[in-house]
Amino acid sequence: MESIIRKAPESFREKPHLDNYDATIARFSWAQAEQLLDGLPNGGGLNMAHEAVDRHLQHGRGDKVAIRWLGKGGGRRELSYAELARETNRFANALQGLGVLPGERVFLLLGRLPELYLALLGALKARCVVSPLFSAFGPEPIATRAEMGDARVLVTTPELYRRKIQGLRDRLPGLRHVIVVGEAMAGEDGVHDWSALVAPASADYTIAPTDRESTSLLHFTSGTTGRPKGAVHVHAAVLAHAVTGRYALDLHENDVFWCTADPGWVTGTSYGILAPLVCGVTNVVVEAEFDAQTWYEVLQRERVSVWYTAPTAIRMMMKLGAEAVKAYRFPALRFMASVGEPLNPEAVVWGLEAFGLPFHDNWWQTETGGIMVSNYAAMDIKPGSMGRPLPGITAAVVSRNGGGGIELVTQPDVDGELALQTPWPSMMRGYLNEDERYRKCFVDGWYLTGDLVRRDGDGYYWFVGRADDVIKSAGHLIGPFEVESALLEHPAVAEAGVIGLPDPMVGEVVKAFVALKPGFQPDEALRRELLGHARKRLGAAVAPKQIDFRNSLPRTRSGKIMRRLLKARELGLPEGDLSTLESDEKK
Ligand code: ATP
Ligand code: MG
């Protein structure tokens, strides 16, 4: 699928912030971008929560809806920027009242409840370090992260506390305070009820001077390739959130924005909380998990204008067909974006068919703190490409030479590792307790991402695969994404995961695991048809030699296919760290 999706300026409902890529790149500087922020009063430095919340009161947005929360049972709560300022002040005061000090770690383990958002922003005001976890994590992943991160405070619900925390309190001697949201639980040692502690706290709070380089967030990676790493981020990252919210997501003053990610994954914090609030838009939060129909209803009823989601969800919607989408109307929707995994060309084009808009893929990692490579509202899309680097970001394709150095690949269309020139404001400042591993990510002023890509002659980047996942077969380097995308073009295929299996003749052979769309039978005839389809699309050297059918593929809680697990299971090897595996896939 080579066709380009052209952007016609007359079709833009808002003039894109980045209307001319080359010109914007040429004039951009991070120093000038500081104008997008206010900074704390009287030269008090930079604090994420001030930029996301308090400053909007001085810009006439006090009454504007900051967060529109849609609860599981049909509940609805709106918080204006002024209310958000007051409620987060209460939480900051509550922490201070408990004697919690700046720099101490506040862990969040609660579903997408309003209190999650209040606690995160309030703790940032108090200059604590926040670490949001998936509420679906089991006790062990919670304990290891809280131990590693030296959790001092935990905000959770009574139910999660009883099921997952109570039994491991003695492993967490540093955990002094547990704040529970919901039914009262008074009496337990160090357990406070949110309603008794936070609600009566003062709604006035002055953020103390904050060093922009002080730690703000601790985010664990998705664990797709192994044991999750704790990426340390600082308050200065908020500048990247402002810039990427503006250029990559094209957020405008009147937008209603919805990021579907949970804050347990970095996307749900950087773009589910910080970027939209920093840009002063209305941020929709949906408590419920994915359900296609519910999602279409939210898009329609809330008049969402900018929507940021992920390939897994898009593929699930594709499985149900474009017709299901057409029962709804989305007159407000003007920009759709995706992140987290490669977005197959098929999915980009399906967006056009189902919603009348393409999905705009973008690329980043927990370590980069914000979007680094993106498709933009005004830039033509080459389906299957993750786009071009953000203003302020210098990207390159590099090859590692044997001696620990790197060489820049200057010619187009050559595979190599994606590297980003340091520094940029949202770059991680460390891996928690893993200095050596952190240092190894940097060579000659470049951050090496561990992802293989190629850049074409127009400067678009194409994802090839994670360095760990790339298959070497008979002298070819095969990226699983290319093979998965070809399989996805077949009408029977809903999902595909591709791995290499050791082979004495050719090094590795390509094997695919496929989940089918409803109505298709996993039989021998279809297997042969898919093998033939792939061979025709990819050539015999790259096409899979084997295909197995599965009902679903193992994925992380952030929605990524765990190819390492497909491989380990296939080869009967140890399965490694499964702390982020979605529980229904656990054997
Ligand atoms: P771990 O590092 O623990 O193995 P992870 O890399 O999946 O987990 P994240 O930081 O959540 O943890 O994910 C970032 C990775 O996701 C990227 O390095 C890349 O491999 C993949 N990714 C994100 N967006 C895209 C995209 N648009 N296209 C292709 N891959 C993407
Ligand atoms: Mg990673």
Write the residue with the smallest CA distance to atom 29 of ligand 1: 342
Q: What value does the mean pLDDT take over residues 19-35?
A: 97
DSSP state of 356: S
37 and 116 fall within a common domain: yes
Q: What is the pLDDT of residues 342-381, one digit of tens each?
A: 999 999 999 999 999 999 999 999 999 999 999 999 999 9
Residue 377: give the domain boundaries: 9-22+32-452
Write the residue with the smallest CA distance to atom 17 of ligand 1: 365
513 and 445 fall within a common domain: no
Tokens of 169: 């309190």
- CA 56, 59, 65, 68 dihedral sign is negative
460: in domain:
no
Q: How far apart are CA 527 and CA 85, in angstroms?
A: 57
225 and 82 fall within a common domain: yes
Tokens of 250: 């094209």
Phi and psi at residue 265, in whole multiples of 5°? -115, 145
Classified as helix, coil or strand, 216 is: strand
Domain count across the chain: 2
337: in domain:
yes
What CATH number does the domain containing 505 carry?
A: 3.30.300.30
Question: Looking at residue 2, what is its pLDDT?
Answer: 55
Question: Looking at residue 587, what is its pLDDT?
Answer: 43
pTM attached to this predicted model: 0.96
Q: How far apart are CA 530 and CA 535, in angstroms?
A: 8
Which ligand is in closest contact with the Cα of 229?
A: 1
Q: Determine whether 517 is exposed, middle or buried from the number of CB atoms within 10 Å of its CB (0-12, 13-18, 19+).
A: middle
Ligand 1: nearest atom to the Cα of 338: 27
190: in domain:
yes
The pairing of beta strand 256-259 with beta strand 282-286: parallel
497 and 435 fall within a common domain: no
Classified as helix, coil or strand, 555 is: strand
Cα–Cα separations (whole angstroms), residue 211 to 102, 208, 216, 301, 365: 11, 10, 10, 41, 24
152: in domain:
yes
364 and 499 fall within a common domain: no
Which ligand is in closest contact with the Cα of 564?
A: 1
CA 337 to chain centre: 12
Query: Which of 452, 479, 497 is the last residue before a domain boundary?
Result: 452
Write the residue with the smallest CA distance to atom 5 of ligand 1: 222
440 and 555 fall within a common domain: no
Task: Residue 35: count other Cβ atoms within 10 Å of its Cβ.
Answer: 8
Question: How many helices, marked H, and strands, marked E, lie in the chain?
Answer: 20, 28
Q: How far apart are CA 278 and CA 66, in angstroms?
A: 10
What CATH number does the domain containing 243 carry?
A: 3.40.50.12780
Q: Is 221 in the pocket of ligand 1 (CB under 6 A)?
A: yes
Q: How far apart are CA 554 and CA 570, in angstroms?
A: 13
Q: What is the pLDDT of residues 318-343, one digit of tens each?
A: 999 999 999 999 999 999 999 999 99
Q: What angle do CA 528, 534, 535 make, to 5 degrees?
A: 90
Q: What is the pLDDT of residues 223-277, one digit of tens each?
A: 988 888 999 999 999 999 999 999 999 999 999 999 999 999 999 999 999 999 9
* For helices 524-538 and 480-488, angle between their N-to-C axes, nearest 10 degrees: 120
Which ligand is in closest contact with the Cα of 368?
A: 1
Testing ligand 1's pocket by substitution, the residue of 366, 448, 557 carrying the most ligand atoms inside 8 A of its CB is 366
Q: Is 560 in the pocket of ligand 1 (CB under 6 A)?
A: yes
Answer whether 357's CB lies under 8 Å from 336's CB: yes
485 and 366 fall within a common domain: no
Classified as helix, coil or strand, 461 is: strand
155: in domain:
yes
Where does the pLDDT of residue 19 fall: very low under 50, low under 70, confident under 90, or very high at 90 and above?
very high
309: in domain:
yes
Q: Is 339 in the pocket of ligand 1 (CB under 6 A)?
A: yes
Q: Is 558 in the pocket of ligand 1 (CB under 6 A)?
A: yes
Q: How far apart are CA 501 and CA 508, in angstroms?
A: 5
356 and 240 fall within a common domain: yes
Q: Is 386 in the pocket of ligand 1 (CB under 6 A)?
A: yes
Tokens of 260: 């579907």
Q: What stretch of H or E contains 56?
A: helix 55-58
431 and 563 fall within a common domain: no
336 and 370 fall within a common domain: yes
490 and 445 fall within a common domain: no
Q: What is the pLDDT of residues 264-315, one digit of tens each?
A: 999 999 999 999 999 999 999 999 999 999 999 999 999 999 999 999 999 9
Q: Is 341 in the pocket of ligand 1 (CB under 6 A)?
A: yes
Q: Which of 88, 116, 70, 47 is nearest to 263 (CA)?
A: 116
Which residues have C-beta within 8 Å of that of residue 441, sequence separation ≥ 6? 367, 447, 448
549 and 412 fall within a common domain: no
Amino acid at 206: T
